[in-house]
Structure 1
Amino acid sequence: MKNNQFAIRPTDFDTQIQELQNIHFLTSDNEMITDPIDLFKNFLQIAFVQSHSKAVFKQKLSTYMATPDQDAFEYLNSSSELSVDAFYNVALQLLEFNPDVDFTFEDPLGAMKKIQLKVADHEGNVLTLNELKSAWYWLLATHNKNGHTFIDSLAAKGYFVPFYGEIGEPLLFNGKSMPVFDPHKIIREVVYVESPQDTDEDGKLDLLKAEILRPAESNDGLKVPSLYTASPYNQGTNDETGEKLMHDVNIPLTHKEPNDLNYEDIEYKAPNTKLPEPRKVNSYAEVADETFAREQSYTLNDYFLARGFAVVYAAGIGTKDSDGIRTTGDPEETTSTIAIIEWLAGNRRAFTNKYDNIEIKAWWSNKSVAMTGRSYLGTLATAAATTGVEGLKTVISEAAISSWYDYYRDGGLVIAPGGFPGEDADVLAEETFSRRLQPGDFHKIKPLWDKKLAEITFEQDRTTGNYNTFWDARNYHKNFKNIKADVLMVHGLNDWNVKPRNVERLWNGIRHNGVVQKIILHQGQHIYINAFRSIDYTDIINLWLTHELLGIDNQAEKIIPDVIIQDNVKTETWNSYTDWSNDNNPTVQYGLSADKLVTAPSTNETLTFNDKLDDESFKRYVKHNDDWQKDLTNLTNNKMTDHRLLFTTNNIEETIIDGKVNINLNVASSKNFGMLSFQLIDYGNAKRFNVSPTLLAHNGLAGTFDWREDDLREFTLGKPTDYKMITKGHINLQNRENTYRVNSLEPNTFYPIKVELQPTFYRIPEGHKLGLVIYSTDFGMTVRGNQDIEYSIQTEGSNIIVPVHRD
């Protein structure tokens, strides 16, 4: 195993002593101890939280080994000195490493180095008293084998329970907040925030339900920050009615009438809508009228509830118990999202219920807000940040959309998010319109909802796939310049749902904003990574939020690397870099020659393939996309030979692709329309990561003592495979200039095209081959018409430009 810790804060000795005192490892009972052996025994006795007698302590201590020949009890009662090896032998066991697997008692320091665990400074082979104190400090801050820091593992056993009700404010250790707030005494309340919009056109400003969880101490004067998750799924979903709206993708691609549109012709401009007057306030209250039993929580938020943070969930307009309608990502939804922040920052009103006009303030809030969440949740965090709303200090955007066109479209084509062919903006709107779940409420809104949903269906324009005003309204890139909150991005390099272009454009779009920006890229698909064993993600977020929301100068902005990327070859390996997908990266250009990618210029050839399959193969691939993917990329399988072009390099040196691969081609279609798809492939027999992380322990990670858990997971290697898709891209041949201008396409006439594949960071091992597959129908993403279209590529002047990483 390898431990990757990026959130350990460098701490001087005096501060270490102070923090050990703050968390009660150094106390009045042990301050006079001068013998390192005695102090080590005392530390262990304190750490064995669940041992309440000397006999049980002896019993537990004797189950640890200090040397190859002595258990810890024998060693500590017979030795006059505390050796460095003995300390780290015990430390490794406290960190739950296995001497039969992870280390030997003869060389614990070698194991510490191999596993990448922190070793305290020491001069000799024996620890002095001060060296022991420092070594214990770093041990507490060190990650164990099962996803916890040692201090968090002690918390899960009840170490901080005696602190409940005694501290009354956040307690810090190594720059991070400790769980000293009783999660079982959390105050739960519901408020209804008045947003500056009337999306359901009832003549009243929309009220939005917000569910709040906050520490009991916030009732006693403690001002706390808020983690806010805007989740349209939070109040329930309409899976059945959403499924009925799914669009048929087994339809032909069609010709589009050319246009000469400019951006100004399709640019979204906010309507000048007259809004209703705000509600008249009848009275004020400090106690909410409504509570709730159990929220649809996010486990990362759960972790912080015991650490002095409030958590707020709101589903937004058009959801159960709120007013309004669903709009899927437009400015109205952004307005709905930031209304909650404005209330938390003291700049908007909320009420105790929807009828009495009794105002309630967020009097417990310190007016600092962070947004958290994955996918649609992270998308709304990104949208909120683009408004520059006051009070939003940071967003942690995980697998977030930055332009809805890049989610449901690509290159002038209707492109499904991976795994959801036929889904579109209208389907998502219906699925999240949870007002439907309350028949009495839905009855009143149904006529308007039917009308608005039909408008979404029409305006999203599945006929052409062009970028239009509908999509421009849902493009957050235009407002990146307004982002003034610090941003921590998390994204999967194999996420074909919210494709990597979404995070790459955010990363590069704010690099000159003057905000702190960080990014973590993992090898997963559309997943959370806060329960991974090999990276201290939760500690990173703890360090980050303690800085951002509590205003603690813990150097989080300097300690956390700007770029952290999980290696795709070595297990449990995360590397830090200074940048990602920089346009100034060096490039390697490959030409096309027959079936080869060559570093020399392309030869002068014309290569062709036809998109039409026999009916049996077509029907099979429609039902089994995985079979199609295997046949498409298989070097030796002839089933797709006539329906693709496949090029490979010779065996290459180790290469890291860093950023956006560009393809330049001269292309012709036998029709007056056409589309091309591309996949970049790593060819070489090797064990590769399984598609999904492996479950290591169900409920293996506890937030703190007797509090919510998460499953411990990790990416593991599967059986050897012959290839791995690195990235892909698509283009409608009639959108050669851009996604809103439609060009004419004369049959059998060659046109130059340029296609930007989804950005990546990928290590190709030495001896592997880089491959490029050019094809048309993508059975997982595009329409599937099985049309008799022949595509031709002129190799002369065609090339592929690969950005490479240089250390």
Structure 2
Amino acid sequence: MRRIPLLCVLALLGTTVLATPANAAPVALLSDPIYDYATAIRETVYVESPLDNDGDGIRDKIVADIIRPREAAAAGVKVPVIMDASPYYQCCGRGNESEKKVYAGDGTVSRFPLYYDNYFVPRGYAFIAADLSGTSRSTGCEDVGGAAEVQGAKAVIDWLNGRVTGRNAAGAVVSATGWSTGKVGMIGKSWDGTVANGVAATGVQGLATIVPIGSISSWYDYNRANGMVNPKVSSVPSLHSLVNSRPSGTCSAVAGALSSGHAASTGNYNSFWAARNFVTAAASVRASVFVVHGQNDLNVQGVHFGQWWDALAANNVPRKIWLSQEGHVDPFDFRRATWVSTLHRWFDYWLLGIDNGIMGEPMADVERAADVWQTSTLWPPSGTATANYVLQGTGDPGTLASSGAGSGSLSLTDAPSLSEANAVSSPTTARTGRKVYQTPVLTSDLRISGTPTITVRVRSSKATTTLTAKLVTYGTATRVNYRSSGEGISTLTTQSCWGASSSTDDACYKDTAKVVSSAAYQVLSRGWMDGQHRDSLTATTPMNTSTYYTITWKLRPIDQVIPAGQRLGLVLTLTDPEFVTAHSTGATVTVDLAGSVLKLPIAPAGALAAPSALRTDSPTVIYDGTVSPLAGTRFQ
């Protein structure tokens, strides 16, 4: 790629086509690292939030720790901003190495977590690490996805555009309009990226792009699953407690509202959750969106990227997506070199206006195996269509058929202690509490791209029961072991450096490798429904024990290929103690097979890449030879 100095880039802002010599190949342009990182301006600004949610009579102050190129400021050159707004800068740290902010004697940050500052400040960007309301040095109280959190982060963008007041530590008013272009790109993994989703949903002017990585789109769907509590993640009150940095008692009222609002006893969707649902506000999004998510993320599950992506598509939001085979892992730690290069061009395009062609490239990158990637011009691919699979027979296993009809019925008795491993393994063995349906051995590859749904016609012996469905690929293969302790990666002892360093802040990070294992199966997607929430998530309706109900629910969205020679399986169980806390157990359910169907989004054969079309990123893998038990997930 051709690189050009930033001052030349600035002269090209607003130009959509760059002239090239006749018959010359298109020239890809990148901003160059022409500014000195070590001497960059470091400052702290206290931005006024529109809210006073700690009730002290003073609007909350959001701390924006800033680093920006000194030479640009001296020359009067305005720069755009990359911002990571996070609750974790002091309690827990960021990134694979859990870096925290380190402060100098004057109160400014001498060491920023992550590489964003090291890499992008020399290239003519400012970087802001903002403390969310009630965390680290910000005032107010953390309300976990609520108005204080979102409006506080939004206020920093408003300050950069001259719409709200910011002050320095001495209380003097500080303006950013002299050095900021007003354009902002928000980025972050997990909670940080969730904040980016929430701020984008406000439609704030100046936010040009967001890059949410493994991030929540609706807090209900993080803590709940169709009326049931997700026991694998931290509750809203516990997350508040984890990141709260205010003196004891300051945030008691907010903590109480969080405890009463999240409706743990019922699993209901209510106004508390509606206020934390960004999907419903997708029509307000003005920023472009680069979604990155692990298809095997068991913390922030795939429902979040799937429903957010669909809503963005419905509103014609410019977008791009990466889907990996890892769990809750940052792309910096599963595809580092390609990621940094792609992110560089993404920000150059959306924040500097460099016409580098990135929006003309394939919309999606999907990891097929460890470090083997396939691109799709659109996602889901053009021509993807719903195919119905019916459930036939009651043997072990039954048949999952793409034609014909289901008939007869089966009885399924709850087995509360049935683990996922026992539910899906050894499909030809009869086991209490589970029923397996399999396709015949596939004669050609099958690509599922999108959100599967399951419909069952059932009668329950109790007023409610959990209904669980899992998609499984059966066939021994070497796969990314997303259930290893690193969720598919292992941290090495070697390092690589990404950007410039100073005496207090280096740009070097430990390298990683993919962790793979050979296994006879892999769970591809999961989905759950509480029987008493079958008609509504806002209220419960008990099931009449003599009545059949037709119940439909979604599984987690995926883009996975089941290779020829393997089988696709559907596993039905009731209670699933690893993933949902059931409201009742011990039911016996009768399933009417004629009224039950699995619907799969199947990509056309042309969307399956030949080996020559697959890209391999210099694989570094560790074969661990085992399928490890699931490590405890953490929301970071």
Superposition TM-score, scaled by structure 1 size: 0.66
**Residue number in structure 1 paired with 2:589:** 791
Instruction: Give, in whole Å, the separation in 1 of the partners of 2:335 and 2:497.
Output: 10
The one-letter amino acid paired with 2:200 is: A
Amino acid at match of 2:354: I
Kept in 2: contact 1:188–1:291 (CA 8 A)? no
Q: In structure 2, what is the equivalent of residue 563 of structure 1?
A: 364
Greater fraction strand = 2
Root-mean-square deviation (CA), in Å? 2.8
Asked if 1 retains the 8 angstrom alpha-carbon contact of 2:409 and 2:590, the reply is yes
Structure 2 contact 54–254 (Cα < 8 Å) conserved: no
Is 1:736 the counterpart of 2:534 in the alignment?
yes
1: distance between equivalents of 2:358 and 2:401? Answer: 45
Q: Are residues 1:359 and 2:173 paired?
A: yes
Partner of residue 550, structure 1: 352
Is residue 569 of structure 2 the alignment partner of residue 764 of structure 1? Answer: no
Q: Percent identity?
A: 29
Give 2:61's aligned residue.
207
Instruction: Please identify runs of 4+ aligned residues in structure 1 that moved more than 6 A.
Output: none
The one-letter code of the counterpart of 2:141 is: I
2:631 match: none
Compute the displacement of 1:364 (Å): 2.0
- The equivalent of 1:648 in structure 2 is 438
User: What amino acid does structure 1 have at the position aligned with 2:309?
Assistant: W
Conserved in 1, the CA contact under 8 Å of 2:471 and 2:525?
yes
Which amino acid letter does the alignment assign opposite residue 414 of structure 2?
D
The aligned runs of 1:401-412 (5 Å cut-off) are 401-412=216-227
**From 410, 426, 436, the counterpart of 1:607:** 410
Aligned AA for 1:685?
T
| Aligned partner (choices 44, 53, 58) of residue 190 of structure 1 | 44
SS where residue 372 of structure 1 aligns? strand
* Structure 1 position 511, deviation (Å): 2.0
| C-alpha spacing 1:584/1:456, structure 2 compared with 1 (3 Å) | farther
Give deviations 1:746-801, integer Å, cap 9, x for gaps.
12432110111111000001011111111122222211678322122111121111
Structure 2 residue 378 is matched with structure 1 residue 579: yes
Shift of 1:584: 6.7
Contact 1:611 1:786 in 2 (8 A): no
| Conservation of the 8 A alpha-carbon contact between 1:385 and 1:483 | yes
**Contact persistence 1:531–1:710 (CA under 8 A):** no
Distance apart, 1:187 and its partner CA: 2.0
CA distance in 1, matches of 2:357, 2:92: 41
1:533–1:712: 8 Å Cα contact kept in structure 2? no
In structure 2, the residue corresponding to 1:502 is in which secondary structure?
helix
Return the alpha-carbon distance in structure 2 between the equivalents of residues 765 and 748 of structure 1. 42
Q: Secondary structure at the match of 1:233?
A: coil
Moved more, 331-340 or 514-523: 514-523
**Aligned match for 2:155, one of 328, 339, 344:** 339
Cα distance in 1 between the residues matched to 2:431 and 2:253: 48
Q: Determine if contact 1:701/1:712 at 8 Å carries over to the other structure.
A: no
- TM-aligned CA deviation for residue 609 of structure 1: 2.3
Aligned residues of 1:591 and 1:598 also touching (Cα < 8 A)? yes
Aligned to 2:143: 327
Corresponding letter in the other structure for 2:45:
V
Please give the alpha-carbon distance, in whole angstroms, between the structure 2 residues aligned to 1:696 and 1:429: 33
- Aligned equivalents of 2:336 and 2:173: distance in 1? 47
Gaps of 5+ in 1: 1-7, 24-129, 139-172, 239-287, 436-441, 622-627
- The alpha-carbon distance between structure 1 residues 711 and 289, as it changes in their structure 2 partners (threshold 3 A), is closer
Residues 576/208 of structure 1: CA separation in 2 closer, same or farther (3 Å cut): same
Deviation, structure 1 residue 740: 1.6
Work out the CA distance in 2 between the residues paired with 1:305 and 1:552: 17
Shift of 1:738: 3.0
Return the alpha-carbon distance in structure 2 between the equivalents of residues 724 and 750 of structure 1.
32
Written as runs of structure 1 = structure 2, the 5 A alignment for 1:460-471 is: 460-471=262-273
Going from structure 1 to structure 2, the CA distance change for 1:292 and 1:629 (only over 3 Å counts) comes to: same
Q: 1:294 to 1:791 in 2, by over 3 A?
A: farther
Q: Distance in 2 between matches of 1:397 and 1:659?
A: 19
Partners of 1:395 and 1:677 lie apart in 2 by: 34
Code of the aligned partner of 1:387: T
**C-alpha separation in 2, matches of 1:586 and 1:683:** 23
How much has 1:736 moved relative to structure 2? Answer: 1.5
The question of whether the paired residues in 2 share the 8 Å contact of 1:671 and 1:748 is answered with no
Return the offset for 1:534.
7.6
Higher helix share: 1
| Other-structure match for 1:177 | 31
- Structure 2: runs of 5 or more not aligned: 10-20, 94-103, 483-487, 607-636
- Determine if contact 1:190/1:289 at 8 Å carries over to the other structure: no
| Contact 1:491-1:521 within 8 A present in 2 as well | yes
Q: Secondary structure at the match of 2:251?
A: helix
What SS does the aligned partner of 2:59 have?
Answer: coil
| Superposed displacement of residue 580, structure 1 | 2.3
Show the 5 A alignment for 1:310-459.
Answer: 310-353=126-169, 357-362=171-176, 363-416=178-231, 419-420=232-233, 423-435=234-246, 442-443=247-248, 446=249, 448-459=250-261
Q: Contact (CA 8 Å) 2:415, 2:432: kept in 1 or not?
A: no
Q: State the secondary structure of the residue aligned to 1:567.
A: strand
Give the deviation of 1:186 after TM superposition: 2.2
- Given that 2:362 and 2:378 are in contact with CA atoms closer than 8 Å, whether structure 1 keeps it comes out as no
The two structures have a TM-score, normalised by structure 2, of 0.83
Give the conservation status (yes or no) of the 8 Å contact 2:225–2:580: no
Indicate the SS of the match to 1:428: helix
Counterparts of 1:23-42 in structure 2, within 5 Å, are: none
- Spell out, residue by residue over 1:567-586, the C-alpha distance to the aligned partner (whole angstroms, 9 max, x if none): 13xx4322221222479722
Instruction: Please give the secondary structure, in 2, of the residue aligned with 1:479.
Output: helix
User: Does 1:674 find its partner at 2:456?
Assistant: no
Distance 1:550 1:603 in 2: 57
Q: How far does the alpha carbon of each residue in 1:398-433 deviate from its partner, in whole angstroms, 9 at most, with x for none?
A: 1111111111112121124xx43xx21111111111
| Conserved? CA contact 1:234–1:296, under 8 Å | no
Secondary structure of the equivalent of 1:394? strand
* CA 612–765 in structure 1, closer or farther in 2 if over 3 Å, else same: closer
Q: Which moved more, 1:526-535 or 1:641-650?
A: 526-535
- Structure 2 distance, partners of 1:410, 1:513, is 26
Larger Rg: 1
Deviations 1:350-396 (A, max 9, x none): 1112xx54101113222211101111100111111111112111111
1:350–1:359: 8 Å Cα contact kept in structure 2? yes
Q: Is the partner of 1:744 in helix, strand or coil? A: coil
Q: Which amino acid aligns with 1:780?
A: E
1:472 aligns with 2:278: no
Cα distance 1:451–1:349, how it changes in 2: closer, same or farther (>3 A)? closer
* CA distance in 1 between partners of 2:342 and 2:406 (Å): 51
- The answer to whether residue 495 in structure 2 is matched with residue 699 in structure 1 is yes
In structure 2, the residue corresponding to 1:367 is in which secondary structure? strand
Which residue identity does 1:365 align to in structure 2?
Answer: S
Matched-pair contact (CA < 8 Å) for 1:376–1:401: yes
Output the amino acid matched with 1:225: P
Secondary structure of 2:298's partner? coil
Contact 1:533 1:713 in 2 (8 A): no
Counterpart for residue 611 of structure 2: none
Cα deviations by residue, 1:615-641 (Å, 9 ceiling, x for unpaired):
xxx4xx7xxxxxx22211112586x81
Q: What is the match of residue 31 of structure 1?
A: none
1:478–1:290 CA distance, 2 compared to 1 (3 A): farther
**Equivalent position of 1:268 in the other structure:** none
- Cα distance between partner residues in 2 of 1:733 and 1:787: 12
Q: Alpha-carbon deviation of 1:693? A: 2.2
1-structure distance, mates of 2:385, 2:235: 37
Counterparts of 1:486-525 in structure 2, within 5 Å, are 486-525=288-327
Shift in Å at residue 677 of structure 1? 1.2
Query: Following the alignment from structure 2 to structure 1, what is the Cα–Cα distance between the partners of residues 405 and 541?
Result: 27
- 2:221 match: secondary structure: helix
What is the letter of the counterpart of residue 208 of structure 1? Answer: I
Paired residue secondary structure (1:564): strand
Inter-partner Cα distance in structure 1 for 2:217 and 2:583: 30
